[in-house]
Amino acid sequence: MAVYAIGDIHGCLPQLLTLLEAIRYRPGQDRLLFVGDIISRGPDPLGTIRFVREQQERAVTLMGNHELRAINGLLGFPEKGFIKHLGFLTTCPERDDILAWLRQLPFVHHEPELNLRLVHAGFFPGWSLDQAMEYATRLSAILRDDAQLRPFLARYPANLPENETDTMDETARLHFAMAVMTRLRICQPDGRVVWAIPGTSGGDAFKLEPDSPYHPWHALLDWQDDARIIYGHWAIAGLTRIGRFMGLDSGCVYGGKLTAMRVDHPDFPVTQVTCPAYVKPE
Ligand SMILES: [Mn+2]
């Protein structure tokens, strides 16, 4: 058996199938860990969902911001781009099934035997490991609970806070945690979140120049824990291997590459396939 972590697919099913051929993926034997954002923007998001679900327990998919956008849209809270990129979900025959599946995607996945943790975007440097795990568990419980889900999503703030503060109530803390785990990239030197670099637009909002006063979130995380942390979401940073942190979003769908990393091998070898530029970075 081999275990692979795979970067953000964004509906690029043809490239996923080419990549799986390149790594000689054996269905029913090997395992696949998807870092989230398997849908939105690319040519075949429905086919991607169907393929991933067909792998059943051999595949784990993390909750990404685009999976959350799909949940929000299907429940009547459409964010920008929902109809354009995810509107197919409203009329597809397995709509209810897919919504139920999306709601149970984990925010953090732990592989104790491989000493790995996966998250779509990142962890707030102000959290301990235990706090992060607790937030992930509580968020999943809310998303799976019919009574709590809608009221929770309805209160999601239009402007995200940059920090956790003592005055935040439980719901505000969980909204912040949900945003961090699915959208974080950049922090101030003191750990406050920079959701977009001020004075920039488009893809530049997430581009850290060498002389930037800001830091990637993982440069500030000081957990006394040696598990490798695998994440996606940061396409403009590309494939990243810094110490125990591995960023696998290499810009598939924007004309970059789709990345698979073998995570049960001591060298963590990488295989990539190129992808057409189906869309421009937003
Ligand atoms: Mn993302």
Using pLDDT thresholds of 50, 70 and 90, give the confidence band for residue 282: low
How remote is the CA of residue 222 from the centroid of ligand 1, in Å?
Answer: 23
Q: How far is the CA of 118 from the centre of ligand 1 (A)?
A: 13
38 Cα: distance to centroid of ligand 1 (angstroms) = 9
Report residue 85: phi and psi, to 5°: -100, -20
pLDDT digits (tens, 9 = 90+) for 141-197: 999 999 999 999 999 999 999 999 999 999 999 999 999 999 999 999 999 999 999
CA distances from 100 to 11, 63, 75, 174, 228 (A): 19, 13, 11, 21, 30
Nearest C-alpha neighbor of 191 from the set 208, 215, 227: 215
CB 58 within 8 A of CB 27: yes
Q: Which CATH superfamily is domain 3-274 in?
A: Metallo-dependent phosphatases (3.60.21.10)
Q: How far is the CA of 269 from the centre of ligand 1 (A)?
A: 23
In the prediction, which pLDDT does 204 show?
87
Domain ranges for the chain, please list them: 3-274
Question: pLDDT tens for residues 6-45?
Answer: 999 999 999 999 999 999 999 999 999 999 999 999 999 9
